[in-house]
């Protein structure tokens, strides 16, 4: 794979807050802790070393979860054991339990943390670094995970289950896997032999990445949640996270940035099989919405103490939960995740939990040979791939046309002439000057219309090139979105079983640019 890189800001696809973070704008520095460079991790290690983590419990939970895995890789077993050592730290990414891994960027996230751990081990050889995939098994938005796209074709898991997606039965997924990838695939085996979606995801992620030591953690766990009791109680009774995030969000809004998430007075859901609903306070009662469940203050205190696993954090407090139970140094996510983490720093400070380094995931566009040939014929540079489709067609048409297709010179001459006419008319009668302006605008619009028709006529002469542009844009930007956010990895992996391994070599976790990857497939 040959790799080229482009500055995020030049693509026109990323929000100002993300671009300014990458460019280390001074005004944003108070909203995060340390910038994601290898050199920053020395101080982060020292700070996190002072934060107590129940490592023994963490290891016990992971070992119990991996008891269900058919074939645990030795690298995973060693990494889980090493988490009991206070010189071992984690780098974490999280993602929803999309069927068949979902879009390409799921893999980009995981590859980022694996590669980053390897680079940090080389730089800090006295420490161990374990890549973690934190399954978002408690999410309950089934619509977001139940479909995926392969080469433009959508596949959907038809199920009516409710509640946390990780607890959902895998019924119907093995049949879908048989249709999509066949009975010999990793996915078919995982879906056919697993009791629930979380177990199935752990199975296939272990199959793809276990040899690299990636550890999969399901935080929907009573033992781990017991470490969160004081945070659950603080949120339910004091609502401190709500106030802190709102203040931070207001500061970002005042600076012109769009905030990504909004806190609530209570940032926990109540979780049972088939149910994940918000907890709200109504007078003297704590009510679980869309259910008949409610608690008095004494009852909910007892529920927190005896059943912490029934309290599921939302997007505001899930990061706090993660950092409370892991010896974590950095979190890897996409632009929206980086942005919402920057709303949370005061919450971490209030609970005296070190704020992790925010390491953006790798971003990439995969260009196979057949698309590369079309790009070569069109003589497109990497940055031109991000040009809006119709504008690109116009620019290419002008490049290849032997005709003059812009009327810029004529516009300037016409503008001068019309100004003269306006002056003459105004001298005759001042009211005619205003009428002249209106007529001039009509003439200017007519010139624009003529130019557009000239370009359209020339495009028709070069229909092959216009078709090639459509093919390139449709492949790299399906549905006008980034390829990495739409397409699944299956076609690439089917064509080349070493595809993921090659991706790992192509990506550099600390190269904070957009990667253009030319794939020989």
Asked if residue 292 is part of any domain, the answer here is yes
Give the end of a domain, one of 365, 381, 406.
365
Pair 205, 251 in one domain = no
Check which CATH number belongs to the domain holding 318 and give it: 3.40.50
Question: Could you tell me the two tokens for 260?
Answer: 């990504």
Where do we find the tokens 């781990």? 224
Residue 250: its pLDDT value, please?
Answer: 96
For residues 425 and 433, the answer to whether their CB atoms sit within 8 Å is yes
Distance CA 214, CA 224 (A): 19
Asked if residue 133 is part of any domain, the answer here is yes
Pair 283, 202 in one domain = no
**Going by C-beta distance under 8 Å and a sequence separation of 6 or more, which residues neighbour residue 429?**
none
DSSP classification of residue 205: H
For residues 7 and 386, the answer to whether their CB atoms sit within 8 Å is no
Asked if residue 520 is part of any domain, the answer here is no
Distance CA 343, CA 316 (A): 9
User: What Å distances lie between residue 183 and 68, 174, 187, 191, CA to CA?
Assistant: 21, 8, 8, 11
Pair 333, 405 in one domain = no
For residues 314 and 264, the answer to whether their CB atoms sit within 8 Å is yes
Pair 97, 142 in one domain = yes
- The secondary structure of 359-382 as a DSSP string is EEPPEEEEE-HHHHHHHHHHT--G
- Per the document, the length of the chain is 521
Question: Could you tell me the two tokens for 420?
Answer: 């003269």
For CA atoms 24, 364, 94, 268, the dihedral sign is positive
Residue 407: its pLDDT value, please?
Answer: 65
Asked if residue 506 is part of any domain, the answer here is no
Consecutive H or E run containing 46: helix 41-49
Question: Could you tell me the two tokens for 261?
Answer: 């998430």
**Going by C-beta distance under 8 Å and a sequence separation of 6 or more, which residues neighbour residue 470?**
389
Asked if residue 511 is part of any domain, the answer here is no
Pair 204, 328 in one domain = yes
Burial pattern 218-230, b for ≥16 Cβ within 10 A else e, equals bbbbeebbbbbee
Positions of the chain with pLDDT under 70: 400-407, 455, 458-459, 461-462
Nearest to 12 by CA among 487, 480, 503: 480
Pair 323, 275 in one domain = no
Consecutive H or E run containing 190: helix 186-193
Residue 458: its pLDDT value, please?
Answer: 66
Structural domain harbouring 81: 2-229+313-365
Pair 304, 187 in one domain = no
Give the total number of structural domains in the chain.
3
Distance CA 47, CA 62 (A): 24
Pair 40, 184 in one domain = yes
Residue 441: its pLDDT value, please?
Answer: 84
For residues 92 and 214, the answer to whether their CB atoms sit within 8 Å is no
Residue 340, classified by CB atoms within 10 Å of its CB into exposed (0-12), middle (13-18) or buried (19+), is buried
Pair 199, 335 in one domain = yes
Residue 448: its pLDDT value, please?
Answer: 82
Pair 141, 20 in one domain = yes
Distance CA 299, CA 303 (A): 6
Residue 400: its pLDDT value, please?
Answer: 67
Asked if residue 20 is part of any domain, the answer here is yes
Distance CA 196, CA 379 (A): 50
- The model's pTM: 0.87
Asked if residue 244 is part of any domain, the answer here is yes
196 in helix, strand or coil? Answer: strand
Pair 188, 64 in one domain = yes
Asked if residue 498 is part of any domain, the answer here is no
Residue 225: its pLDDT value, please?
Answer: 96
Residue 145: its pLDDT value, please?
Answer: 95
Pair 239, 224 in one domain = no
């Amino acid at each position: 794979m040959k790799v080229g890189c482009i500055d995020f800001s030049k693509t026109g696809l990323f929000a100002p807050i993300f671009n300014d973070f990458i460019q280390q704008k001074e005004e944003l520095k108070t909203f995060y802790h340390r910038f994601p460079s290898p050199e920053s991790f020395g101080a982060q290690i020292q700070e996190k070393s002072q934060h107590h983590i129940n490592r023994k419990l963490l290891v016990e939970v992971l070992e119990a979860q991996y008891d269900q895995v058919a074939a645990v890789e030795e690298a995973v077993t060693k990494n889980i054991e090493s988490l009991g050592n206070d010189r071992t730290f984690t780098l974490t990414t999280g993602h929803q339990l999309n069927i068949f891994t979902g879009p390409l960027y799921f893999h980009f996230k995981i590859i980022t943390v694996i590669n980053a751990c390897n680079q940090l081990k080389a730089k800090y050889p006295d420490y161990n670094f374990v890549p973690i995939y934190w399954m978002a098994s408690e999410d309950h938005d089934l619509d977001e995970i139940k479909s995926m796209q392969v080469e433009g074709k959508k596949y959907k898991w038809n199920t009516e289950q409710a509640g946390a997606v990780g607890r959902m039965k895998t019924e119907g997924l093995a049949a879908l896997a048989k249709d999509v990838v066949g009975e010999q695939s990793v996915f078919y085996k995982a879906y056919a032999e697993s009791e629930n979606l979380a177990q199935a995801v752990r199975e296939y992620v272990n199959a793809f990445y276990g040899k690299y030591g990636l550890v999969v953690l399901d935080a929907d766990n009573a033992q781990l949640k017991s470490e969160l009791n004081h945070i659950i109680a603080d949120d339910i009774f004091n609502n401190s996270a709500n106030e802190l995030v709102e203040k931070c969000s207001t500061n970002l809004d005042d600076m012109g940035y769009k905030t990504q998430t909004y806190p609530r007075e209570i940032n926990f859901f109540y979780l049972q099989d088939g149910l994940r609903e918000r907890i709200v306070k109504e007078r003297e009662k704590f009510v679980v919405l869309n259910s008949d469940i409610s608690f008095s203050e004494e009852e909910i205190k007892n529920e927190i103490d005896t059943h912490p696993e029934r309290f599921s954090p939302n997007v505001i407090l899930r990061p706090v939960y993660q950092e409370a139970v892991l010896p974590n140094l950095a979190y890897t996510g996409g632009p929206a995740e980086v942005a919402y983490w920057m709303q949370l720093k005061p919450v971490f400070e209030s609970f005296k939990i070190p704020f992790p380094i925010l390491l953006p995931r790798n971003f990439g566009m995969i260009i196979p040979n057949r698309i590369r040939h079309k790009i070569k014929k069109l003589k497109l540079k990497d940055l031109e791939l991000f040009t809006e489709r119709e504008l690109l067609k116009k620019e290419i048409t002008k490049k290849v046309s032997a005709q003059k297709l812009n009327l810029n010179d004529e516009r300037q001459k016409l503008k001068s002439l019309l100004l003269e006419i306006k002056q003459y008319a105004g001298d005759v009668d001042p009211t005619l000057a205003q009428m002249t302006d209106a007529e001039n605008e009509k003439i200017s619009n007519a010139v624009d219309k003529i130019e557009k028709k000239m370009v359209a006529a020339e495009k028709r002469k070069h229909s092959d090139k216009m078709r090639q542009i459509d093919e390139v844009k449709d492949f790299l930007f399906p549905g006008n979105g980034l390829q990495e956010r739409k397409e699944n990895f299956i076609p690439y992996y089917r064509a080349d079983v070493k595809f993921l391994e090659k991706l790992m070599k192509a990506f550099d976790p600390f190269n904070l640019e957009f990667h253009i990857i030319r794939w020989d497939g």
